[in-house]
Amino acid sequence: MPGHEIHFKIDKTNHTISEEQNPMSGAALRALPPAVSPDYDLWLRARGSEDDRVIEPTTTIVVESGMHFYTAKKVITPGERPVLRGANLLSDEDDAFLARKGWDCDVTAVQNPNGRQEVQIVVRAFPMPSKYRPGAVDLLVRQLPGYPEIGMDMFWTRPDVTEAGTGRKPHCCESVEHYQGVPWQRRWSRHISADQWRVGVDNLETFFGSIIKELAR
């Protein structure tokens, strides 16, 4: 007699499996249509205060109803004045992501030199991997005019970050740019190209997934 059905999501796609299909491998989850591209990681959104985690192809997991997986780019390739603050600057899904993470954030709408509005999100005391100093920084990301059809690209930190072992600044992080009247370590110059940004799928959550993975490399 067949067991009950298990309902879960990968990105914005609903999936249903039978109880007999548990446990599932990461590879099997990645193969569910639409299949996850090899250059993307599969993440499991954590419940409560736990951290989200990458589900590797070799990982075995018991899938439960209500689980939400998302995908994010594995590698981000190396390479104004405030006008409004606070609520109603983010999409519902981006706002829900920040609320779920519980980060201390400052969300600001800024008029760029072309007179168009972009949204800048500063995460305060963002934890850095142990290979970097200091251990926590303010981290800035930008949603340019046209987002979410226009993808997010690069991130900035302050104070300056150095490698713990060498004291050197990380690759492509040598310059300084000013936003909101303060200097930021320029552009952790890591890019998701326009053709890799998945309109309707990628958002602030998937972008931070790529940032976290990049910092851990």
Taking alpha carbons only, the member of 41, 11, 28 closest to residue 198 is: 11
In the beta sheet, which residues pair with residue 133? 162
CA neighbours closer than 13 Å in the CB half-sphere of residue 111: 6
- Is 73:39 a contact under the CB 8 Å cutoff? yes
- Which residue has better confidence, 139 or 113? 139
Q: In the chain, what is the straight-line distance between the N-terminal and C-terminal CA atoms, in Å?
A: 46
Tens of pLDDT, residue by residue over 79-123, are: 443 334 455 789 999 999 998 888 989 999 888 777 788 999 999
Nearest-10 crossing angle of helices 204-216, 92-101: 40
- H or E segment and range at residue 184: strand 182-188
Range in 38-47, 71-80, 143-152, 196-205 with the lowest mean pLDDT: 71-80
Tens of pLDDT, residue by residue over 17-63, are: 999 999 999 999 999 999 998 888 999 988 776 788 899 999 999 99
pTM of the model: 0.66
- Is 156:187 a contact under the CB 8 Å cutoff? yes
The radius of gyration computed from the CA coordinates of the chain, to the nearest angstrom, equals: 19
- Which residue has better confidence, 144 or 196? 144
- Which residue has better confidence, 167 or 2? 167
Longest pairwise C-alpha distance within the chain: 66
Quote the pLDDT of residue 181. Answer: 79
Quote the pLDDT of residue 83. Answer: 38
CATH fold, domain 5-73, is Ubiquitin-like (UB roll) (3.10.20)
- Which residue has better confidence, 194 or 69? 69
Rounded alpha-carbon distances, angstroms, from residue 182 to 138, 139, 156, 195: 12, 13, 12, 32
| 192-213 mean pLDDT | 87
Taking alpha carbons only, the member of 119, 137, 141 closest to residue 129 is: 137
Taking alpha carbons only, the member of 139, 73, 84, 140 closest to residue 109 is: 84
2 has pLDDT over 70: no
The segment(s) of the chain belonging to CATH 3.10.20 are 5-73
